[in-house]
Amino acid sequence: MKVYVAGKLGTEEEKSLLNEVAELCESFGFETFLPYRDVGICSGIGDVERIFEADIKKGFENVDLVVAVLDGLHVGAGTAWELGYAYAKGIPAIGIKTDESAEDGLEYLSAIILGSMKIVSSIEELGKELGKFGNKF
């Protein structure tokens, strides 16, 4: 099973949580794709084509599940796009929001994101959900 790990990566804390999510997925034996780790970070407009090609066209190949970190005041633009793309392709997703409850974050998450996936509030809860997905693939 291949898991695409999505989320903002502007701070070291955001990258750390993405890494923790990827490591948890890997502890279940899942292959992970973590865009900033596996492709790199876009450093300017000249990187856009390379990043899109590697993150989306190649990164989404054979993906079975998307796990998206939803922390912060707003979901990142790339994360929202990746979630929409996954939904359109019929790929299930799990969101993780550790900084506040999904209910409290409704204004920032949107009903569309809330309605499209299960959202958990901790790494431990994510582990329980990943265990359920492990039985499906």
SS3 state of residue 3: strand
Contact by Cβ (8 Å): 109, 97 = yes
Task: For 92-122, write each residue's pLDDT tens digit.
Answer: 999 999 998 877 777 778 888 988 999 999 9
Contact by Cβ (8 Å): 83, 66 = yes
**Phi and psi dihedrals of 32, rounded to 5?**
-120, 150
Domain limits of the chain?
A: 2-134
Distance CA 95, CA 117 (A): 7
Contact by Cβ (8 Å): 62, 2 = yes
Give the pLDDT score at 134: 65
Q: Which regions in the chain score pLDDT beneath 50?
A: none
Give the pLDDT score at 104: 77
Give the pLDDT score at 136: 58
Give the pLDDT score at 135: 58
**In terms of CATH architecture, what is 2-134?**
3-Layer(aba) Sandwich (3.40)
